[in-house]
Amino acid sequence: MSRYWSPQVHQLSPYIPGEQPRIPNLIKLNTNESPYGPSPRVMEAIQAANNETLRLYPDPQATALKAALAQYAGLSAEEVFVGNGSDEVLALAFQAFFQGRTEPLLFPEITYSFYPVYCQLYQVAYKMLPLRTDFTLPLTDYQQPNGGIIFPNPNAPTGIAVSLAEISRLLEHNQDSVVIVDEAYVDFGTESAASLIQRFPNLLVTQTFSKSWALAGLRVGFALGHPDLIEALNRVKDSFNSYPLDRLALVGAQAALEDLPYYQALNQKIIASREQLSQDLTALGFEVLPSKANFVFARHPHHSAADLADQLRQNAILVRHFKHPKIDQFLRITLGNEEQNQKLIKTLAHLV
């Protein structure tokens, strides 16, 4: 508390990301990073940087990366925006589309916990809509007056996805405000809504290099949408940070996009391990929600999730537990590599 702070800062409750502790031999399954490294081309591109490239500012327009992303998404470069992780892209989108509206921004009650934080930070009115009792997302509830809509697909931390047909129906009924589909986990088996961008100029799709591209440390995210929406994001960005990405991030992300076969194989491997881990957890008595992400959300009928998370931690395995009363019986477990997943199952077998 300080008399120098603006009143708004006093009211902020900052977002606390999953911890990144330094415990030897830790199996870290708490923040949905990839258990595998990125394409070797990424390090090659980063190592090719030299004093001369680092001496100079990066390209403020990120032209080469945007062109590569446009080709990847089957869109034009005017339909692409890049930022330091999708968190930054979302922050700019909240300012560009939701700030100053009288109607509330709608998002699920159980979802990515950054959304209410951004609402506080940018003073956006919001309304959280409950999930169904089976934790699926009832998109038809979102057909009500609003100043915008945002939801992840698949949702976090449940991992449950909605279909493209449901998103399309929502967009047909909601053409007066911006709808953001946060596709942080889309590459693990969900169809992207990017194919709807030509039909709906109010649709913004965000994605990240932090999960399926195995580059969380590089901080690269992007948005796809009608040039009109991208222009608004550029206006906010240019008023705030005219160099969206540093030179290493730019070349690293671009190199990743040049090795799609590597990533297709990686995603298949992660999807297969999700099915295996879900089966193994079910065999131990867990109820596992049907995940389309690189994590599973599971609860045990006879064991407290908080206790299990503590006990796993004592065994150097870190998973995520949320205190929200509607989901505090669940553990969110990021998929590790095969050995890590087996170690997790072995450890849990002693605990339940």
| Binding site residues, ligand PMP, CB under 6 A | 85-87, 112, 152, 156, 182, 184, 208, 210, 216, 221
What is the number of other CB atoms lying within 10 angstroms of the CB of residue 350? 8
Toward ligand PMP, which CB reaches closer, 187 or 280?
Answer: 187
Give 148's DSSP letter: E
Q: How many alpha carbons fall within 13 Å on the CB side of residue 207?
A: 22
H/E run at residue 299: strand 295-299
Q: How far is the CB of 215 from ligand PMP (least distance, A)?
A: 9
Q: How far is the CB of 110 from ligand PMP (least distance, A)?
A: 12
Q: How far is the CB of 127 from ligand PMP (least distance, A)?
A: 19
Toward ligand PMP, which CB reaches closer, 69 or 348?
Answer: 69
Contact 250, 49 (CB under 8 A): no
Q: How far is the CB of 341 from ligand PMP (least distance, A)?
A: 20
Residue nearest to ligand PMP (CB): 85
Toward ligand PMP, which CB reaches closer, 77 or 91?
Answer: 91
Rg (CA), the chain: 20
Q: How far is the CB of 35 from ligand PMP (least distance, A)?
A: 16
- Whether omega before 157 lies within 30 degrees of 0, making that bond cis, reads yes
Q: How far is the CB of 342 from ligand PMP (least distance, A)?
A: 25
Q: How far is the CB of 152 from ligand PMP (least distance, A)?
A: 4
Assign 70 to helix, strand or coil.
helix
Q: How far is the CB of 265 from ligand PMP (least distance, A)?
A: 22
Contact 82, 245 (CB under 8 A): yes
Toward ligand PMP, which CB reaches closer, 69 or 156?
Answer: 156
Toward ligand PMP, which CB reaches closer, 152 or 189?
Answer: 152
Q: How far is the CB of 243 from ligand PMP (least distance, A)?
A: 17
Toward ligand PMP, which CB reaches closer, 91 or 230?
Answer: 91
Toward ligand PMP, which CB reaches closer, 105 or 348?
Answer: 105
Toward ligand PMP, which CB reaches closer, 86 or 190?
Answer: 86
Tell me the C-alpha distance between 238 and 232, whole Å: 10
Q: How many alpha carbons fall within 13 Å on the CB side of residue 6?
A: 6
Distances (CA, A) of 336 to 101, 155, 190, 296, 351: 42, 20, 20, 11, 19
Give 300's DSSP letter: B
Contact 313, 26 (CB under 8 A): no
Burial class (CB in 10 A: 0-12, 13-18, 19+), 275: exposed
Phi-psi region of 172 (alpha: psi -120 to 50; beta: other; left: phi over 0): alpha
Q: How far is the CB of 153 from ligand PMP (least distance, A)?
A: 9
Toward ligand PMP, which CB reaches closer, 156 or 296?
Answer: 156
Contact 208, 85 (CB under 8 A): yes
Give 195's DSSP letter: G
Tell me the C-alpha distance between 85 and 330, whole Å: 27
Give 98's DSSP letter: I
Toward ligand PMP, which CB reaches closer, 87 or 280?
Answer: 87
